[in-house]
Amino acid sequence: MRYRIETWGCQMNVHDSEKLAGVLEGLGYHGTQEAASADLLLLNTCSIREKAEEKAFSFLGSLRALKQMRPQLIIGLCGCVAQQEGEEIFKRSDLVDFVLGPRAIASLPLLLDEVRTRRSRPLDRGLRDDSVRFDGRLARRNPGPRAFLTIMEGCNKTCTYCIVPTTRGRELSKPAAAVVQEAEFVAGQGYREVELLGQNVNAYRDGKVHLGDLLGLLQGVDGIRRLRFTTSHPAHLSDAIVQAMRDCPTVCNALHLPVQSGSDAVLERMRRGYTVRRYRDRVDRLRAAVPGIALSTDIIVGYPGETGEEFDATLRLLQDVEFDQVYSFVFSPRPGTDAAGEPDDGEQALKESRLHELQQRQREIQLRKNQALVGCVTEVLVDGFSRMGDSILKGRTRCNRVVNFPGPGSLVGEYACVEIQSAGPNSLEGRRIAAVRP
């Protein structure tokens, strides 16, 4: 039996697909690259914006001919759209055999059994927190030097635009001992970098152990020289976490800290729980504690009622903070969220031109910052070949910048010392000068 998983969305979803793959391989399934030869197809969907959801449904539609040719093909709709839409999915498409929410991964064998034996169309979106309880050692992780590791699930915040609390449920943390065990396990499998995952990792708690303590506990894991965590919430980024970033040698000098807007009025309407001043104070503390830290962020443009001045405030924030990377999106109303019910007379074309302007300005900032690195020598963890060609390797610096350089395939998964020779807004190019001993 062959399976294929299509994945959309964030790292959490990518890692959930690895867990689904682990469950399937435990049942004797083998992976295949081609949907056409699969007996089981899982669509692991994202619903953060309408476009993401549409992509999954249009992919689903493209499977009609295949399903007609091979009626025994089983199609499962998983992930955040599954959680959000539930039964509706069966009405919307006759191609879907079962629906599985992101917190019910361990139920996959049961659902498959029901599809096969009872010919029913089962659904499980029970919020049983099993992606935290799920033994991450069973995941079939993708090849490469970096392993994802779920430390918590869900989000208790109430940001008005966000569907995630609906799709991922309430916060729940994985016990620290299980996190350490899993990190040791992946280190034993040869992974060099661990990225701790959660929708709001700063809220991690196991009894008295908070995220800063957890980072400390993970320092003892042999073989893991790079530790990252995502996603952080500015209102929860405590001094203890900042200190742990400073004091733990394996914690990388990079942080994703979504700000969403540079206007206090918009932040308040979004119910983000911080002001621009407080956000900037966090940035100052981070930069003082962790020299050279790279900061990335998320921005939503065109939130309902966003005025020209409010948008300008976001541009000013970008100009002042000079982020190393910005992920920006036009606001997309999501079903059942508070923001979707707010009056919004902003024209889509204006929102898109604002987005374009913001991205243009940010490109210039990134280009300038990256060009300042030309001539530097940096440690790169090689994760594979670049799209530029077979003899060009691609890797990341500790501060998460992409570096391309010529080198042999034997370096994949290894550290290399690279001198930066040129820079674009999104990546650096260089040459290898000497291998660093792992």
Stretch that binds ligand SF4, among 8-16, 298-306, 347-355, 393-401 (CB under 6 A): 8-16
Q: Phi, psi at residue 430, to the nearest 5°?
A: -160, -170
371: left (phi > 0), else alpha (psi -120 to 50), else beta? alpha
Binding mask 32-71 for ligand SF4 (x = CB under 6 A): --------------xxx-----------------------
Which of ligand SF4, ligand 5AD, none interacts with 46 (beta carbon under 5 to 8 A by kind)?
ligand SF4
> Of these partners, ligand SF4, ligand 5AD, none, which one is at the site of residue 334 (CB under 5 to 8 Å by kind)?
ligand 5AD
Question: Of 393, 373, 370, which Cα lies nearest the Cα of 383?
Answer: 393
Check if the beta carbon of residue 399 is closer than 8 Å to that of residue 293.
Answer: yes
2: region left, alpha or beta (phi > 0 left; psi from -120 to 50 alpha): beta
Residue 203 has which token pair? 């809220």
Cα of first residue to Cα of last residue in the chain, in angstroms, is: 39
Candidate residues 48, 112, 211, 221; the one interacting with ligand 5AD per rule CB under 6 A: 48
Residues 143-182 that bind ligand SF4 (CB under 6 A): 163-164, 167-168
**Using CB under 6 A, which of 8, 134, 161, 191 touches ligand 5AD?**
161
Distances (CA, A) of 78 to 44, 137, 200, 310, 424: 5, 21, 22, 37, 37
Cα angle, residue 61 at apex, residues 56 and 63 outer, rounded to 5°? 100
The item of ligand SF4, ligand 5AD, none sharing an interface with residue 298, based on CB under 5 to 8 Å by kind, is: ligand 5AD
Specify the residue, 10 or 252, whose C-beta has the smaller distance to ligand SF4. 10
Residue 80 engages ligand SF4 in binding (rule: CB under 6 A): yes
Give the residue at shortest CB distance from ligand 5AD: 298
CB of 77 to ligand SF4, least distance (A): 13
Rounded CA gap, 170 and 156, in Å? 5
Identify the CA nearest to 275 among candidates 261, 286, 264. 264
What is the rounded distance in angstroms from the CA atom of residue 400 to the CA atom of residue 379? Answer: 11
Query: Counting contacts by CB under 6 A, is residue 339 touching ligand SF4?
Result: no
Q: Is 232 in the site for ligand SF4 (CB under 6 A)?
A: no
For the record, the structure tokens of 175 come out as 């016990």
Residue at 129: amino acid letter: D
CB of 207 to ligand SF4, least distance (A): 26
CB of 133 to ligand 5AD, least distance (A): 25
Query: How many other CB atoms are found less than 10 A from the CB of residue 208?
Result: 7
Task: Tell whether residue 12 is a contact of ligand SF4 (CB under 6 A).
Answer: yes
Min CB(421)–ligand 5AD separation in Å: 33
Q: Which is nearer to ligand SF4, 79 or 304 (CB)?
A: 79
Q: Which residues form the interface with ligand 5AD (CB under 6 A)?
A: 48-49, 161-162, 258, 260, 298, 300, 329, 331-332, 334
Q: Which residues form the interface with ligand SF4 (CB under 6 A)?
A: 9-10, 12-13, 46-48, 79-80, 163-164, 167-168
